[in-house]
Structure 1
Amino acid sequence: MHQLQTKRWGPVTCWYDASRVPGFNEAYFDPAYWQQRDAVLGQSTGRGVTWFVQGPSGALVLRHYWRGGLIGKILGDCFLYSGLARTRCRREYALLTYLAELGLPVPRPVAARVVRQGLCYRADILLERIAEARDLVSLLRERPLSREEWMAVGALIRQLHEHCVWHSDLNSHNLMLDGSGKFWVIDFDKCDVRAPGKWQQGMLDRLLRSLRKELVCNVPFFWQESDWQDVMAGYQAGR
């Protein structure tokens, strides 16, 4: 059971799941803490560095929040503070907890931190790492997906839509396949639950654009337009 606890030290507020990180320490959000303990399992580089570490109860993902786009080049990791409940890490933590409790295939949140600095704040989040998972792009660089796998992707998106989950950036890097053949969705920053609408088709369109983009950028890349028919078949079957 999720045991949400809160700790505050001056401008720092942390939330954590006591069942996942017993003896919680704010230093968990510092990559150097894990490096000093030889507990770094790996890392990936995108907008910033995401760290994979061995936590007290299993493998974790440590991610710092960074702004994107042009404003990100100016403000970096600084966000306007308008209350703890509205911080990006707290909102993602709450959403992932809700989705995980529904049984949806999303990573469980473990801890989050907000550090206030005047009118701004910086933030981090710790998540459970999905075992033996690889993103769709990494897989498609090596092999094609079967019809059943593409249909599973469509069924997963339909599952999100049935629960009115809007993903702000559903692309081929944010869909993962684990070692047991199960698909997952990651990166729920700036996502939420909303009433059904045009955004549902927009999520599908965004994923299709992503696949077309990766087809141009990667050689080889084992995806073809006809695969999208299988995605949609899985989506429709989930009705």
Structure 2
Amino acid sequence: MQQLQHWQEGSAASWYDASLLPEFGAACFDPAHWQRQDAVLGQSHGRGVTWFIRGPRCELVLRHYWRGGLLGKLLGDRFCYTGLARSRCYREFALLNDLWAAGLPVPRPVAARVTRQGLCYRADLLLERIPGARDLVSLLRERALTGEEWRKVGVVIRLLHEEGAWHSDLNSHNLLLDAQGKVWVIDFDKCAIRAPGRWQPQMLARLQRSLRKEQGLHTAFFWQEADWDELMAGYQAG
């Protein structure tokens, strides 16, 4: 059971799970804090740096929010402040909390922070790391997924749809498979709960385009169109 707490210090407002971060403070969002404890396990580079950390109760993923596109070049990591509940990290934290509580295979949210600076804010998010999980792209560059694995992917997408969970960027990098064969969905930034509608087949089409794109990018990529039929069989059966 999550023990969600609210924490305020100066211009920063945070929410955190006390069962996973019993000694919470602003330093939890600072990579240097974890480096001093020799608790940094690794990092990945995308729009920014994502840090993998050995936390007090579980492994963590620390992510700072950055803008993309032209606004990213102008504003970097600053977003227009229109209220805490409208901040990107709060919305992702709250959505993940609801989905995780409903038993869906998403990362468990651990903490989020909004730091206000005048009309703008910066934001950070801490999640529980999914042990032994790899994204579909890295797996498909090494081996083909079985029909059963593809059907599991379809079942998970159907579960999201039944919960009304719209994923704004469901691509092959945001679907993970762990060592036990469980499928996970990550990166719920700018996502939301919606009533059933056209967004559901659009989500599926986006994923299919992603797989086709990755197939064209890599010499070795073990995906074929027939795999999509297996995924859809799982989706329809789910």
TM interval, shorter chain, is over 0.9
* Aligned residue number for residue 124 of structure 1: 124
Tell me how far 1:218 sits from its aligned partner. 1.2
* Aligned residue number for residue 200 of structure 1: 200
* Aligned residue number for residue 133 of structure 2: 133
In 2: Cα distance, 1:68 partner to 1:224 partner: 31
For normalisation by structure 1, the TM-score amounts to 0.98
**Residue pairs, 1:46-57, within 5 angstroms:** 46-57=46-57
In 1: Cα distance, 2:203 partner to 2:88 partner: 21
In 2: Cα distance, 1:203 partner to 1:72 partner: 25
In the alignment, structure 1 residue 97 sits paired with structure 2 residue 118 = no
Amino acid at match of 1:11: S
- SS of the aligned residue for 2:91 comes to helix
Tell me how far 1:73 sits from its aligned partner. 1.5
* Aligned residue number for residue 2 of structure 1: 2
In 2: Cα distance, 1:203 partner to 1:68 partner: 21
- SS of the aligned residue for 1:41 comes to strand
Tell me how far 1:164 sits from its aligned partner. 0.8
Tell me how far 1:57 sits from its aligned partner. 0.4
How high is the sequence identity, in percent, across the aligned residues? Answer: 69
* Aligned residue number for residue 85 of structure 1: 85
In 1: Cα distance, 2:207 partner to 2:75 partner: 28
Q: Which runs of 5+ in 1 are unaligned?
A: none
Q: Which runs of 5+ in 2 are unaligned?
A: none
Tell me how far 1:179 sits from its aligned partner. 1.1
Q: Deviations over 1:53-87 (max 9, x none)?
A: 00010100000011112211111111000001111
Tell me how far 1:36 sits from its aligned partner. 1.1
Tell me how far 1:131 sits from its aligned partner. 0.7
- SS of the aligned residue for 2:107 comes to coil
Amino acid at match of 2:103: G
Amino acid at match of 1:44: S
* Aligned residue number for residue 70 of structure 2: 70
In 1: Cα distance, 2:34 partner to 2:219 partner: 36
Tell me how far 1:37 sits from its aligned partner. 1.0
* Aligned residue number for residue 166 of structure 2: 166
- SS of the aligned residue for 1:91 comes to helix
* Aligned residue number for residue 42 of structure 2: 42
* Aligned residue number for residue 217 of structure 2: 217
- SS of the aligned residue for 2:234 comes to helix
CA RMSD, 1 decimal: 0.7
Which contiguous aligned blocks of 4+ residues in structure 1 show a shift greater than 2 angstroms?
none
Tell me how far 1:10 sits from its aligned partner. 1.1
Amino acid at match of 1:3: Q
In 2: Cα distance, 1:181 partner to 1:99 partner: 20
Tell me how far 1:9 sits from its aligned partner. 1.1
In the alignment, structure 1 residue 146 sits paired with structure 2 residue 141 = no
* Aligned residue number for residue 31 of structure 1: 31
In 1: Cα distance, 2:16 partner to 2:229 partner: 42
Amino acid at match of 2:157: I
For normalisation by structure 2, the TM-score amounts to 0.99
| Aligned residue pairs, count | 238
Q: Deviations over 1:145-182 (max 9, x none)?
A: 00000111111101100111100000000000011110
- SS of the aligned residue for 1:226 comes to helix
* Aligned residue number for residue 235 of structure 1: 235
Tell me how far 1:25 sits from its aligned partner. 1.7
Tell me how far 1:2 sits from its aligned partner. 1.0
In 1: Cα distance, 2:211 partner to 2:88 partner: 27
